[in-house]
Amino acid sequence: MPESKLQVKLLTGTPNPVSLIYAAFRQCYSPGFAGDLWPRLVNGDVSRDEQAGFIAKVLESGHDSPIEHVSYSFAVQGVSRALTHQLVRHRIASYSQQSQRYVDESGFEYVLPPAIARIPEARKRYEDFMSMTGQAYRDLKAILQEHGRGKKANEDARFVLPQAAESKIVITMNCRSLIHFFELRCCERAQWEIRKMAWKMLKLLSTELPVIFQLAGPRCRRLGYCPEGEKFTCGKMPLQP
């Protein structure tokens, strides 16, 4: 079984995201109707720079709920089941994950932790185990099929698969949830694999919608200090005053 490689692809996002967020903010503070304002926004009567500037000013006040109207969808592959178990704890999101019940895992790929990869004897032991696990999966699947389980053999054989087994998943989150996700998962205290994925997602969005994501990242980036306390700080930012 080969080692998998992380890939993150932005599939799609809400059309006219800046205009939509601007219209939502304006609706909060204006007696007018956002539906009447909308054609002027998408036709450019109000410039994109003006819209973005207004959004940035309101966000500075802490009012950020209107950014929930915009969402983005990502396709991710080359991640472990260990990562996806962490990921789905972010509940204001939608997930569609590759099923081990229906997908044959006879030649499953796996994620190799860097700390193991750096130590030759650890890497060999790890890769030997993955090979043994793959053989066990194939043996169990064949035995189950011989005893009448047919296509359902996958759902029982999968119980031997490790957390390292590679998975593919589609993720959709709104902007507010994404910012919260980045605050937690871009932090140095986050587990290395989900942190790597989070930074790749953020890099894509920083280009796609900079008015919202150019300052996103770990909480210390927004706060200007580390909120984790002396025991947990990575030392890159001063502690909370």
Are residues 241 and 226 in contact, defined by beta-carbon separation less than 8 angstroms?
no
Of 219, 220, 182, residue with least CA distance to 202: 182
Are residues 167 and 7 in contact, defined by beta-carbon separation less than 8 angstroms?
no
Tokens 């500037």 map to which residue?
Answer: 53
Are residues 85 and 194 in contact, defined by beta-carbon separation less than 8 angstroms?
no
Relative orientation angle of helices 17-29 and 34-42, to the nearest 10 degrees: 150
Helical ranges in 7-47 per DSSP H: 17-29, 34-42
Number of Cα atoms under 13 Å in the Cβ half of residue 158: 18
Q: What CA–CA distance (Å, rounded) separates 233 from 192?
A: 16
What is the sign, positive or negative, of the torsion defined by CA atoms of 217, 219, 224, 230? Answer: negative
Of 30, 31, 97, 28, residue with least CA distance to 69: 28
Is 185 an active-site residue?
Answer: yes
Candidate list 26, 176, 185, 195, residue with the active-site label: 185
Please give the positions annotated as active site: 185
